[in-house]
């Protein structure tokens, strides 16, 4: 049994299998899951687990070279936008329309569905490389 880190075996395996530039999506309860993209559903009830909790845990265990967010989060969910900008300070961030975000999510290795029930609380985390 693991001593620390992510205990969810599905998430742990996905993170171990990621290659450079692969995408994973951390999503709220409303993001549509594209056909053919695996989903890891963590949602227990509204708000549990929270988007920020899941992002924090994944960020501790993943080399992230870029974060992609929907532009709409800036106006329709300012607290989550502020959290993401602070959390990934120094990491390149890309902003796109929510429609474009949904298109990009079709290329994800997995979508991790949280219990988050606030608008546009979704992000694409692009894997980087850890040498050394």
Distance in angstroms (rounded) separating the CA atoms of residues 53 and 75:
22
Binding site, annotated residues for substrate: 28, 98, 120-122
Active site residue 10: no
Binding site, annotated residues: 28, 98, 120-122
- Which one of 10, 20, 107, 130 is the catalytic residue? 20
How far, rounded to the nearest angstrom, does the alpha carbon of residue 50 sit from its chain's CA centroid?
A: 12
In angstroms and rounded to an integer, the radius of gyration of the C-alpha atoms of the chain is 14
| Residue labelled with tokens 């693991």 | 2
Query: Which residues are catalytic, by number?
Result: 20
């Amino acid at each position: 049994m693991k001593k620390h880190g992510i205990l969810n075996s599905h998430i742990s395996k996905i993170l171990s299998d990621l290659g450079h530039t692969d995408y994973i999506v951390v999503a709220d309860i409303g993001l549509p899951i594209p056909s053919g993209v695996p989903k890891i559903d963590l949602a227990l009830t509204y708000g549990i687990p929270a988007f920020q909790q899941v992002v924090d845990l994944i960020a501790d265990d993943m080399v992230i070279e870029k974060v992609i967010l929907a532009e709409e989060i800036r106006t329709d969910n300012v607290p989550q936008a502020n959290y993401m900008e602070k959390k990934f300070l120094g990491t390149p961030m890309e902003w796109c329309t929510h429609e474009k975000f949904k298109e990009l999510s079709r290329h994800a290795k997995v979508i991790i569905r949280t219990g988050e029930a606030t608008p546009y609380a979704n992000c694409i985390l692009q894997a980087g490389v850890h040498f050394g």
